[in-house]
Amino acid sequence: MKKLLVLIICLGLLAVTGCTSDTQQSADNSKNASDTILKIGLMPDIDSIPFIIAEEKGFFKEEGVNVELQHFKSAMDRDSALQSGNLDGGVSDMLAAGFAKDGGFDVKMTSMTDGNYCLVAGTANNVQSIKNMKGQNISVSKNTIIEFVLDQMLMENQMTEADINKTVIPQIPTRLEMLQNGKLDAAVLPEPMGSIAIKNGCHLINSSEKMQINPGVMVFINDSLQNKSEEIKAMYRAYNKAVEYLNNTPQEEYMDLVIEKAGLPPATKDALTMQKYHEAALPSKDAWEKSIQWLNQKGLVKETYSYDDMVSDILSK
């Protein structure tokens, strides 16, 4: 009887130990999941706004993902952070993705974003169409999404870059200031800079939104797509919640916050009318084919990478 009692006690202790071990393992797994950080690079533009809202409204936390947003002033700094492994992904564009791929750095486009690029005529320029801008000085940043959008506008109107004078001004604030001061005939500007220029007396000629060109994308490095796939999916669920919030909330309720967090000019508040955002979806195949064709024609990228070479279908998994 005494031996039986000892056996029962031992079995009980083993069961308790097993339960404790299982409970501890579960806690450790939970801790490890919450400790996995997804680092996302943002730019001071409207593409980044859903990420800021997702963080501020707690949508990332609701989806159980730890997202660290890092803000960059230049695409060069963002791309350097991606290539050095300091970011998992970031707000980018198809041209930057093509450059990265051609440089031997494996990134994938995972979704389109909702940026808009505007061709804006200066305060003293009365033209209403790009067809009437022959010989005019139009400012861009060279070999970028800005120049790509302008070239697409020219092509749509049976024009070439020989019909205009491209004035290269890389710094967007300088480009905006010169346009507003009458020192440029026109410029291509991202939002919200385009709306600020229009608010200050310039006028819109065309935009990537009107042309239904959307080369803005999210990119992720291949290592993160393989090792942080669940975190990326959770991030996109939070992103979609932010899109729903933005599309159903008056912009005055969040614009001060967005201006502060994104580093946008204060004039954005009165100048920008927020567009409708789209839930996360794969980038357009047509937009990629136009982008890679442009890169090839310019001699900026050697290979003709296919859409499948460049896109991850993580959203559908």
pLDDT tens digit string along 264-280?
Answer: 889 999 999 988 999 99
- pLDDT, position 289: 95
d(CA 221, CA 227): 10
Residues of the chain with pLDDT under 50: 1-33
Using the Cα atoms of residue 204, residue 246, residue 66 and residue 233 in order, give the sign of their dihedral: negative
> How large is the greatest C-alpha to C-alpha distance in the chain, in angstroms?
106
* Cis peptide, bond prior to residue 266, ω within 30 of zero: no
Taking only the tens place, the pLDDT of each residue in 34-52 is 578 999 999 888 999 999 9
Cα separation, 197 vs 200, in Å, equals 5
For residue 298, the tally of other CB atoms under 10 A from its CB is 14
- At residue 282, the 3 state secondary structure works out as coil
What is the Cα–Cα distance from 48 to 65, expressed in whole angstroms?
A: 18
Residue type at 169? I
